[in-house]
Amino acid sequence: MLKIKGNEIEEPSITNSFGRRAVQLQNKIINVLKQLGVDRDYVDLKIENIPQKKAPASVSWYYNGRNLKYTYSLMPRFIENLYVINKVLTLEVEKLLSGEITKDKFGREFSEDDNLSDQLTEARKTLEVSPTETDFEVISKSYKKLARKYHPDMSTGDHKLFLEINAAHKLINKELN
């Protein structure tokens, strides 16, 4: 099971017909957003020519006066990243339609931030881990070591750097959990 944006999702198991399945997932995502009144013309979702290659999947749409976007890249293949996007959007739209979350919370959850990948890379650099590190335990171990070292109460303390370390950890935590 994967835990993404507070949702538990079954790990994808796609072994064949990648192109056909990518189109099916694209249509499912468009239909999920259609439940919110989002017209197909306001959904941007590009399919990779080779869906089984390693690549992030991304969808953007216009809803409630905002440009929203969701990108996922932690799975080994594009088709699996697209599967995760479909599952997360399905669950989040259900929450919105049932009144469990508000339009504003939904909008904040998927606010478009084109430089998010740059911010995540910079956050990993701040925490002194590999730019592609996705093991949250490794990231947290480095975070704890740096937080202790730069805590303002320590002799090596640096308040500004301590705040940057905390912000970096928080950003990566939001991405991975």
Q: Are residues 50 and 16 in the same domain?
A: yes
Residues of the chain with confidence (pLDDT) below 50: none
Query: In this predicted structure, what is the pLDDT of residue 177?
Result: 65
The model carries a pTM of 0.65
Which tokens is 50 given? 């080779």
Query: In this predicted structure, what is the pLDDT of residue 114?
Result: 52
Q: Are residues 104 and 122 in the same domain?
A: no
User: 130: which residues sit within 8 A by CB, 6+ positions away?
Assistant: 124
Q: Are residues 24 and 56 in the same domain?
A: yes
- Domain of residue 34, residue span: 2-109
* CA max distance for the chain: 60
Number of domains in the chain: 2
Q: Are residues 14 and 83 in the same domain?
A: yes
Query: In this predicted structure, what is the pLDDT of residue 4?
Result: 79
Q: Are residues 19 and 98 in the same domain?
A: yes
Last residue of a domain, one of 82, 109, 136: 109
What CATH number is associated with residue 171?
A: 1.10.287.110
Query: In this predicted structure, what is the pLDDT of residue 113?
Result: 56
